[in-house]
Amino acid sequence: MNAGPASAPPGLWQPDLMRQQQADYTVADLLDLPDDAPRVELVDGVIQVTPSPTLGHQDISLLLAHWLLQHVPADLRVVQAIGVGLSSNTSRQPDVLLRRASVASTRSKLRAEDVVLAVEIVSPGTRRIDRFAKPGEYAAAGIPYYWRIEQDPVHVYAYRIGDRVGPGGERQYELITDGADVIELGEPFDIKLPIAEITP
């Protein structure tokens, strides 16, 4: 009879506690995550599990991606929820993004310079991050355009990198336009988006 401790069944992957405390993770580490790892983002060297989106959030995301697929020029591609390295120790997953078509389709992560537009759909649990943290990070990394979509009612805010500089010397976004009925823009391509078409 074996008197040793019974081995516990393996659980789902979790980040290493010591590396989390030391904020030691890098974007390169995300490429080595196991298949059972949850959806995560990397912020200043700390792995953060992202909360599951609501059905309304996912409906808007899918409707927007579908609309963009029908309207983007040939030099852009529509992508959903893929990691974008913003620095050596920060990676985010925009809800929807436009990437350059020249990027190899075999890649599983993007660099900031591959991304033309990052879109975040604000949910109750992500308000502060989507309104303040992510746009600051995207602008600092040089992503030219950012859209924030509020729910209930659906309202789109479209930004582009401006000449304004933040307290840390990084460039910041400036609001181009916003609306709850239609969004008309000339950049990053000619856009006339009826908000009803992305409203569940």
The pLDDT, as a whole number, for residue 141 is 95
Question: Hey, what long-range contacts does 45-51 have (CB within 8 A, 24 or more apart)?
Answer: 45/89, 45/90, 46/20, 47/15, 47/20, 50/93, 51/123, 51/125, 51/126
Calpha distance 84→119 (Å, rounded): 12
- Does the pLDDT at position 3 exceed 60? no
- Assigned superfamily of 55-198: tt1808, chain A (3.90.1570.10)
Entry pTM: 0.86
For residues 175 and 177, what is the distance between their CA atoms, to the nearest angstrom?
Answer: 6
Please give the residue that has the higher pLDDT: either 12 or 9: 12
| 188 in Cβ contact with 71 (< 8 Å) | no
- Structure confidence by residue, pLDDT tens digits, 71-96: 999 999 999 989 999 999 999 999 99
In the chain, what percentage of residues exceed pLDDT 90? 68
How far apart CA 152 and CA 172 sit, in angstroms, is: 27
User: Domain boundaries in the chain?
Assistant: 17-49, 55-198
Beta carbons within 8 Å of 178's beta carbon, 6+ residues apart = 155, 156, 157, 158
Instruction: Tell how strand 76-80 and strand 109-111 pair up.
Output: unpaired
At 10 the pLDDT is 59
